[in-house]
Structure 1
Amino acid sequence: MTSAREVKDRCIEAYNRHDIGAMLREFSPAGVLVTPTGIQEGREQVAWYYAHWFAAFSDLKVTAWMLPTSCDPAVTEFTITGTHDGPFLLVDGAELPATGRRIALRGVSVCTIEDGLIVTDRDYYDQLELYSQLGLPVGVGVSS
């Protein structure tokens, strides 16, 4: 029986290769990704979300540094690093042109599976920390 930890680990490996197809194979067709920017439902929306990040940060990588040994859900503490070298869509719909700035975001992911596929993946990171590292003043890019 496949554990959520195994599924999430495969997803992280695909993320670091920027292999969206491999990531989507780990998601249920109706799988949900929850992030500070919103909720993506289904493989098409999940693919759009990751494609956007990979286009904005061509060297984006996740380093998992705490992997508790529970079977389900899979909890992962991580750091995301990358260089902002492409357009990045902000929450308010504005696009931030490449800044060349490096980011390093700490976060946590909680991933649950059914029948060996991700049904929910909830990723938590500090969006204000991200915006600050990109050089945005507080409040810019935040919808009201």
Structure 2
Amino acid sequence: MGGDRDEGDSRMSNLTGLSDDLINAMNRHDLDGALRCYTEGAVYVSPVGVGEGRDEIASFLGAFLTAFPDVRWTPWSRVVVCGNVLITQWVITGTHHGPFSMPNGEIIEATGRCVNVRGCSLRTMDGDRIAVHCVFYDQLELYAQLGAELVLPRP
């Protein structure tokens, strides 16, 4: 029984360590370092869209770093589920200095506004790398802080 516990503790340590590596790389704005945390065929899912493979993930993460060049992720809590899934609750802070894509394809040009947005990530691991990374955040909170107008179409 003790062996199982040690193996589980080691797996949890690997998952949380990789999460720290990813967050630290993004906070350093080290896109290559962040991409090393993903498998070759990893899938990245966010409100802006889906990226498949490291090249597409690089496009998503790079666009975010361009929009918020001083962005900082601060994890609040994390939990390992089913042995290979890590859920992390976090907050990002940063200043909007570049174009940002909205889910409808519109671009919000730099506003110079500071943002503070809460969210969470669900990362499914394959060995020692991220295979699926789903990002959830309060889009309305972000758009309101950017000063975006959310207008419903009139019939």
TM-score > 0.5, shorter chain as reference: yes
Tell me what 2:21 maps to: 10
Q: Which runs of 5+ in 1 are unaligned?
A: none
Tell me what 1:84 maps to: 96
**Mapped contact 1:4–1:72 kept (Cα < 8 A):** yes
**Alpha-carbon distance, 1:132 to partner:** 0.9
Q: How does 1:37-76 map to 2 (within 5 A)?
A: 37-68=48-79, 71-76=83-88
**Alpha-carbon distance, 1:26 to partner:** 0.8
What is the aligned length?
140
Which contiguous aligned blocks of 4+ residues in structure 1 show a shift greater than 6 angstroms?
Answer: none
Q: Percent identity?
A: 36
Over the aligned positions, Cα root-mean-square deviation in angstroms equals 1.7
Residue number among 115, 119, 123 corresponding to 1:103 in the alignment: 115
Query: Based on CA coordinates, which of the two structures has the bigger radius of gyration?
Result: 2
Q: Which runs of 5+ in 2 are unaligned?
A: 1-9
**Mapped contact 1:37–1:91 kept (Cα < 8 A):** yes
CA distance in 2, matches of 1:8, 1:93: 29
**Alpha-carbon distance, 1:9 to partner:** 1.4
Which residue identity lines up with residue 64 of structure 1 in the other structure? Answer: P
* Residue aligned with 2:23, SS: helix
Instruction: Answer 1 or 2: higher relative contact order, Cα 8 Å, separation at least 6.
Output: 1
Query: Under a length normalisation based on structure 1, what TM-score does the superposition of the two structures give?
Result: 0.89
CA displacement 1:69-101 (0-9 Å, x = unmatched)? 555311111001100011222223222211111
